[in-house]
Amino acid sequence: MLKIRLFLPIVFLLIFISGCYDDDHTHEFVEHTHEVLETQGEVEQNKTKEDTKVVVLDKNESSVIKVEDANSSIENNITKVEDTNISSETYSIFKIKKTTQIESYDEFGNVSLDLQDDGFYKKGETPIYIREVNKSIVTDMLTNLMWQDDEAIKTEKRVWKSIDNLEENATLYCSNLELDGYDDWRVPSRYELSDIVNYGSSDSVFKNIASGSFWSSSIYKVNSLNNWAVNFEIGKIEKKLETTFLSLRCVRGEKLEEKSTKLQWHDDKDAKALKTWHEAILYCEELEVSGGGDWRLANINELKSIIDDSIFNPASKEDILAREYWSSTSYLNNNITAWIINFYTAEISLNAKSAKKHVRCVK
């Protein structure tokens, strides 16, 4: 009887509490609890997202994948995803310069607004040269080469190889040159010398210009009694007998040799029909092969990037015919002509746009 009397007050107390705390309040409590948990979950998820950021870098930069500590700060915690398809060989990346041609010229030499030539695309890196005040040196900022540009450019001429060995030849002239505190000058290669030709304008950062051709250090492989020379008045690259007196523009800096341009080439090697310059441009624009379109006729700087002047027939390591090929670049002083390359010898010259040549498309 005593046990029942003690138990009843407890039962009444529980019933009272239950009546005061109804179902609605219970649901509110449960829903609030869920909201707190969901908010905490979102915070955790967002924190996880912030902990790792993925940044795709320039594909030409490296083949190394770098993953940083996931526990480090948000700013420093970056996963770098980089190109892994680059060759393991070492290259001096060749930055192909714009020719600086800014207008398009049709086959009759008239300015055209819709012809898709070199003046239309303007492909390549913008040339950047610096000439320090009161100095006789021009620095090419794309290649880091330093070029002689003193008064001697206008007057000094040398043979490549002297007959009696008494004359100072081109090699000795550059190796003996002291200019603005530098004494490590050399004769530039054909590859280096042709890289400073301006095909689209008569303007030049070089103050001292000489008429005629300039020696390069590259031997003409078809006939070793000749060396390659560059004519800056016109832009031609031609062979010259090694006993000819020519001008010199010496250079200093790491020699540019290997080339990696990242261009894609379409080989029209099996095409039997030769094309005029205008036909060549239209052919490349209309070309559709595996990998899609966007093909165009290569400009002269792009086309000469596949020259290998250490060999001939063909003068290229590309699978190309040892024939003459069109470029999309017109000649500044006579717009009915355009630049061509002879891939038998590696000579660069001009031809009337009405002539028939081979085609090499690029993208």
Q: How confident is residue 205, by pLDDT bands cut at 50, 70 and 90?
A: confident
CATH of the domain at 237: 3.10.100
- What is the rounded CA–CA span in Å between residue 90 and residue 254? 14
Q: What is the mean pLDDT of residues 110-133?
A: 94
142 and 236 both lie in a single domain: yes
Which residue segment(s) compose the domain that 211 sits in? Answer: 129-252
pLDDT in tens, 211-224: 999 999 999 999 99
Residue 318 in domain: yes
Mean pLDDT over all residues of the chain? Answer: 77
pLDDT in tens, 138-185: 999 999 999 999 999 999 999 998 877 667 899 999 999 999 999 999
136 and 248 both lie in a single domain: yes
Q: Which residues contact 325 (CB under 8 A, 6 or more apart)?
A: 303, 340, 341, 343, 357, 358, 359, 360
The answer on pLDDT for 113 being more than 50 is: yes
Q: If 0-12 CB within 10 Å is exposed, 13-18 middle and 19+ buried, where does residue 170 land? A: buried
SS3 28: helix
pLDDT computed for residue 270 by the predictor? 62
Residue 29 in domain: no
The answer on pLDDT for 23 being more than 70 is: no
198 and 285 both lie in a single domain: no
Final residue of a domain: which of 252, 274, 300?
A: 252
234 and 267 both lie in a single domain: no
295 and 280 both lie in a single domain: yes
- What is the rounded CA–CA span in Å between residue 183 and residue 176? 7
Residue 24 in domain: no
pLDDT computed for residue 31 by the predictor? 42
Residue 194 in domain: yes
Residue 41 in domain: no
pLDDT computed for residue 149 by the predictor? 96
177 and 240 both lie in a single domain: yes
212 and 63 both lie in a single domain: no
Residue 247 in domain: yes
**Nearest Cα to 340, choosing from 95, 332, 328?**
328
Name the more confident of 68 and 361: 361
240 and 339 both lie in a single domain: no
Q: Is 268:99 a contact under the CB 8 Å cutoff?
A: no
The answer on pLDDT for 38 being more than 60 is: no
pLDDT computed for residue 95 by the predictor? 81
SS3 326: strand
- Overall number of domains in the chain: 3
What pTM was estimated for this model as a whole?
0.73
SS3 16: helix
160 and 207 both lie in a single domain: yes
268 and 209 both lie in a single domain: no
pLDDT computed for residue 272 by the predictor? 65
- What is the rounded CA–CA span in Å between residue 277 and residue 283? 10
pLDDT computed for residue 30 by the predictor? 38
Residue 91 in domain: no
pLDDT in tens, 256-280: 865 556 788 887 666 667 999 999 9
Alpha-carbon distances, residue 313 vs 173, 246, 316, 323, 324 (angstroms): 33, 27, 8, 9, 11
Final residue of a domain: which of 32, 65, 85?
A: 85
209 and 271 both lie in a single domain: no
Q: Is 335:328 a contact under the CB 8 Å cutoff?
A: no
Final residue of a domain: which of 216, 231, 252?
A: 252
Chain Cα centroid distance, residue 47: 40
- What is the rounded CA–CA span in Å between residue 198 and residue 295? 24
The answer on pLDDT for 55 being more than 60 is: no
68 and 142 both lie in a single domain: no
Q: If 0-12 CB within 10 Å is exposed, 13-18 middle and 19+ buried, where does residue 133 land? A: exposed
Residue 230 in domain: yes
